Amino acid sequence: MQNITIGRYKPGQLTATRVHHDNDGNEVSRETFEPHAGWIEGVRDDGSTWIMFMDAEGSPQMFWAQREPDGAVIGPGIVLD
C-alpha cells in the first residue's frame, strides 16, 4: 500500500451524483444524494485506488474496490452494514 488518506466532510460541503447506466453503457438516469460524513481512500502499490465512505457515527458504510484515474468509482459498490 502506497498511501491512505482519511477525511471528513462538513455539513453542506459536498453534493454527489450517481449515474445509472444500462447494459450497453448508456446513461439512463442521475440521482443526487446526501454524501457520507467521511472517507478513507487508498492507493495500492500498482497505482490503483479504492475508497470507503463512513457514516455520521464513523462506521464504514460503502466500499468501492476500483476507481477511475479522475477518482470516479467503478461498479455499484459494496454496502457495509
In order along its 81 residues, the chain shows pLDDT tens digits of 789 999 987 776 766 777 888 999 899 998 876 667 889 999 999 999 999 998 877 889 899 999 998 888 998 889 887
User: Which pLDDT value is given to residue 22?
Assistant: 92
Distance (Å, whole) CA 46 – CA 34: 32
Domain count, the chain: 1
What's the pTM value of the predicted model, to 2 decimals?
Answer: 0.68
User: Which pLDDT value is given to residue 51?
Assistant: 94
Query: For residue 29, what are the domain limits?
Result: 3-79
**DSSP code for 44:** -
User: Which pLDDT value is given to residue 55?
Assistant: 81
Q: Which of 44, 43, 40, 29 is nearest to 62 (CA)?
A: 40
